[in-house]
Structure 1
Amino acid sequence: MFYNQLSGARINGPIIQYLNNVDVTIMTKPADYSATTMKKVVKRYQKEAQHINLHRSNRLSDQTIIFNLSESFANPNRVPGVKLKNNPIPFVTKMAKQNTGGIMISSGYGGGTANMEYMTLTGYSLCNFSPTLPTPYTQLVPTLQHNPSIVDNFKHSVAIHPYIGVFYSRTTVYKKFGFDRFMYLGSKYPIKHQYKIDRSPYLSDKTAYANTLDQINNKQRGQFINLVTMQNHFPYDQHFYNNNPRYAATTVSEGTNIDSVNDFATGIHYTDNYVRNFIKQIDRINKPVTIVFYGDHLPGIYGNDMHRDGLKLHETDYFIYSNKYARNHGAHNFDHNTRFVSPNDFIAMVAKQTNSKVNWYQALLTAVYEKLPALTINTNESTTNSYNTSSELVNRNGKIVKKSGLTKKQKQILHDYQLIQYDVTAGKHYTNKYFKSPFVKLNILISKA
């Protein structure tokens, strides 16, 4: 139970839980890892950042960027054998088609929320870590002195989660990432505008977006907001909602409870409406606001065979939207390489969407996003929060491809990516000094060289 160390200690006993945490290999050391190699890798992507920045005019620090993890949000109609009367998420579907959007390949099923959160904030992929490190939030982040993330680009950053803050050690993790505030139930920064739906014990997404709007309007300049919702969390068999018959299931896969699908479909339809209202409201704001909306994983309610339907059971919905003010000041949609992405792609994608300059690490992430297939763990297995399986590559057509089929250039990018992830999380931290330096200074150093 790496996702909740206290519960693990209660169930397993403190000795076993302690030994579980001691017997952890963070990541296998890549070949040719050394100080000299790391310097070469950094220099390579410093030059790449210079090239990218010639064509960009904005800075992330001037934007209001929202990473919105929508709990368990994924269209049931994509699951083999499941069919609803109507699409329960018409607005999100339209947003993904008319803006930057598509399918996000999750590295979890039925759980693992904070793993997707970790990947979006850091740009690192869970599949690069060893099998014994399935939950970076509890096993890794608290132990590191330096945790580079997108938060570093902003003078002000806020995390919002309309639930308790102890799961996945978020109260500790957000401090490590450098967030200025963490708003959760019981925190000194209270969750306001609290709404619930029917009999659900969870605060609704209406609550999440109302509090997010407060934060957007409280800051005149750019900021980063990490919003993690709770409305559509399990269980789904308690009849929380007065289900909407318009989105009822007509058929479900073998072993799937139709009532759970109906309750879940009603919940995500509420989310769809709340997202629609939120987009209307941010379009009225006279400063650049961009939201990355994504489902973290599917709910664990489907009886499908994971070996047969595993990839489909790891497909969630995502879109990136910039408000009218942002679009009038350089932000733009794009549709190249957007059909299938990974959570670790979002930093590069939001920089591209907002026409923002990048530092050397973000240039590496851009290469990973633009040149490599989507990275994930083996989608034929469901081992969320237990251990990591082998890595898997999903191309832009949604097909699993082999690493051996990558080009020489692609293999170099992947190796560079693994080198950086290893150095920061498990190695000698040779690159920490480069993360700490503003990219403007790095570009000056390159020019002089």
Structure 2
Amino acid sequence: MRGWGDIPHFIHQSAGTLRNGPLVQFLNNIDITIMNKPADYSASEMKQISKRYTTVANQINRHRTNELKNQTIIFNLSESFANPNRVPGVKLKNNPIPNIEKIKKRTTSGIMLSSGYGGGTANIEYMALTGFAMCNFAQTLSTPYTQLVPYLRHNPSIIQSFNYAIAIHPYSSKFYDRGIDYPKFGFNKFFYLGNKKAPIIHQKKIGANSYLSDETAYDNTLNQLSRHPQGQFINLITMQNHLPYNHLYHHISHYKATVPANGTIAAQVENYAMGIHYTDQAVAKFIKEIDNIDRPITLVFYGDHLPGIYRNSMKKDGLKLHETDYFIYSNPAAQRLGAKNLTKHNHYVGPNDFIAMTA
């Protein structure tokens, strides 16, 4: 099929149609197996499993007085956020993320293993929202956001645990078909660029970066926290550190990079480092703001994948090229209600672990 010019593209179905033509793109979607049917699968077996775990849940929750839906939970996917100093052969002159490293030391935190490198944002987001791991799907299902979510009558996710849920993304609604998927998940509102009913406000850019800043993303989140003081779920997807990484900022020499002789470009690493430095400042400011709000708020911050600027061997350094940063922070009001730091089994996690860890 590739010999005939077909390039399967599922990140954005309309983009795939423009690339391959409507007939070929239609055919690309026909032979998709979502999941291989397990042995002994049946309605009665699923009811038994549901009954078993309902009993376990009732046992766990019998002494709990707090409900998740009465709190504010923020899942913050930070675009391409990952500490460059973990990449073999890369070393920066200064630390671009001192605030986040301090936060990680006093919270539930560690390394998130990403299934993507240089891309795959929506798959990480899907795993975080649903608790489903991509490895459970058949290989023909490469992007659930465009190949699965739009066609299901019910999409189980953390959103259904709340009476009110919104998504904030300072970019287009069309990428990964989020404008179609978020209503299917049950979000009440989706704030994005171009939405007149739920617009992105406080718009700021940094240097020559064409994407809106992380400060913009957090300012819009704070605006929502003030407008809706009850419990809610917020899905916040940033864009500031998306590629490209050329000639974005001034003073990048502050993060002068030593890189291996494998094709990695130092200037790109330095521009990227300056970008996550601005993220570091915005996160610290945001946490100070939510600390001053006298109602329980928990923030799950995670990088979706590394930027695709490192030319290291995937065979040799593959694990390191899939390690991003995460932390789970509860403000003082949430801590007073009993929010605790996890101290075991939390160093390496997957995005599909965040729902359970948050609870």
Q: TM-score, normalised by structure 2?
A: 0.96
- Is it true that 1:261 corresponds to 2:269 in the alignment? yes
Corresponding residue number in structure 1 for 2:324? 316
Measured in 1, the distance between the counterparts of 2:199 and 2:308 equals 31
* Secondary structure of the structure 2 residue equivalent to 1:183: strand
- Is it true that 1:89 corresponds to 2:104 in the alignment? no
- Is it true that 1:249 corresponds to 2:257 in the alignment? yes
Corresponding residue number in structure 2 for 1:206? 215
CA 1:12–1:243 in structure 2 vs 1: closer, same or farther (change >3 Å)?
A: farther
* Secondary structure of the structure 2 residue equivalent to 1:242: coil
Q: CA deviation at 1:315?
A: 0.5
Q: Deviations over 1:92-129 (max 9, x none)?
A: 12212210000000111100111111111111011111
Q: Deviations over 1:5-37 (max 9, x none)?
A: 111111111111111111100011112111221
Contact 1:66–1:226 (CA<8 Å) still a contact in 2?
yes
**Letter of the aligned partner of 1:283 in structure 2?**
D
Q: TM-score, normalised by structure 1?
A: 0.77
Measured in 2, the distance between the counterparts of 1:259 and 1:48 equals 53
Q: Which runs of 5+ in 1 are unaligned?
A: 352-449
Contact 1:80–1:253 (CA<8 Å) still a contact in 2?
no
- Is it true that 1:196 corresponds to 2:199 in the alignment? no
Of stretches 287-296 and 321-330 in structure 1, the one that deviates more from structure 2 is 321-330
**Letter of the aligned partner of 1:321 in structure 2?**
Y
| Aligned match for 1:133, one of 121, 135, 141 | 141
Q: CA deviation at 1:243?
A: 3.6
Corresponding residue number in structure 2 for 1:102? 110
Q: Which runs of 5+ in 2 are unaligned?
A: 1-8
* Secondary structure of the structure 2 residue equivalent to 1:31: coil
Corresponding residue number in structure 1 for 2:243? 234
Q: Deviations over 1:221-266 (max 9, x none)?
A: 1000000000000011x21111433322123452211111001000
Corresponding residue number in structure 1 for 2:164? 156
- Is it true that 1:5 corresponds to 2:16 in the alignment? no
**Letter of the aligned partner of 1:165 in structure 2?**
S
**Letter of the aligned partner of 1:211 in structure 2?**
N
CA RMSD of aligned residues (A): 1.0
Measured in 1, the distance between the counterparts of 2:279 and 2:261 equals 24
**Letter of the aligned partner of 1:111 in structure 2?**
G
Q: Deviations over 1:141-198 (max 9, x none)?
A: 0000011111101111110000111000000000100101000000121100000001
**Letter of the aligned partner of 1:273 in structure 2?**
Q
- Is it true that 1:65 corresponds to 2:73 in the alignment? yes
Contact 2:69–2:163 (CA<8 Å) still a contact in 1?
yes
Corresponding residue number in structure 2 for 1:359? none
Corresponding residue number in structure 2 for 1:409? none
1:382-397 alignment runs, 5 A limit = none
- Is it true that 1:327 corresponds to 2:330 in the alignment? no
Measured in 2, the distance between the counterparts of 1:75 and 1:293 equals 14
Q: CA deviation at 1:70?
A: 0.2
Measured in 1, the distance between the counterparts of 2:332 and 2:70 equals 16
| Aligned match for 1:220, one of 210, 214, 229 | 229
Contact 1:253–1:304 (CA<8 Å) still a contact in 2?
no
Measured in 2, the distance between the counterparts of 1:219 and 1:126 equals 33
Of stretches 26-35 and 227-236 in structure 1, the one that deviates more from structure 2 is 26-35
Measured in 2, the distance between the counterparts of 1:175 and 1:39 equals 27
**Letter of the aligned partner of 2:203 in structure 1?**
Q
* Secondary structure of the structure 1 residue equivalent to 2:73: strand
Corresponding residue number in structure 1 for 2:294? 286
1:398-409 alignment runs, 5 A limit = none
| Aligned match for 2:281, one of 266, 270, 273 | 273
| Aligned match for 2:125, one of 114, 117, 121 | 117
**Letter of the aligned partner of 2:114 in structure 1?**
S
Contact 2:259–2:265 (CA<8 Å) still a contact in 1?
no
Residues paired across the two proteins, number: 350
Contact 1:100–1:335 (CA<8 Å) still a contact in 2?
yes
**Letter of the aligned partner of 1:57 in structure 2?**
T
